Amino acid sequence: METKESTILLRIQSNLDYTELVESLTIDLTTLAGCTSDQAYFIEMSIREIVSNAIQHGNKCDRGKFVEIEYRFDREKFQVQIEDEGNGFDFNHLPDPCNSENLLKSSGRGIFLVRSFMDDFSLDYIPNQGTRVRFSKKLGG
């Protein structure tokens, strides 16, 4: 049987008020994709973290900049790509949230958690365009 892939593209203004819209759409799409409750939780949490980072840290809440979220899924894999229009950051030297000096900090765990929850993860800076984060979760198949 042929596996048909679905693609949904959402473009939002850099405003944290849109995170509820993203969360609602993500819940609907993980249901449509047939994700288990654990898979759905990991995907939903990962998208929430990366979209929040893109708005706050990437685009600095500049409402003139946008965040694009692309969802791709079929019966075997749920893939997400999130792009901001920010100046990028040195993601090769992120502080380790497990180090004792970072344990009590209120931020800095998002990328660490997404890397832990997803099967594939990549982060790229595109000069003069922003940061692109890609991640995916294997599904039941």
Q: What is the pLDDT of residues 20-38, one digit of tens each?
A: 999 999 999 999 999 999 9
- Asked if residue 91 has pLDDT above 70, the reply is no
Architecture of domain 6-138 in CATH? 2-Layer Sandwich (3.30)
- pLDDT-above-90 percentage for the chain: 70
- Please state, in angstroms and rounded to a whole number, the distance separating the CA atoms of residues 107 and 119: 23
Higher pLDDT, 122 or 141: 122
Give the domain ranges of the chain.
6-138
- Cβ within 8 Å of residue 112, ≥6 positions away: 94, 96, 97, 98
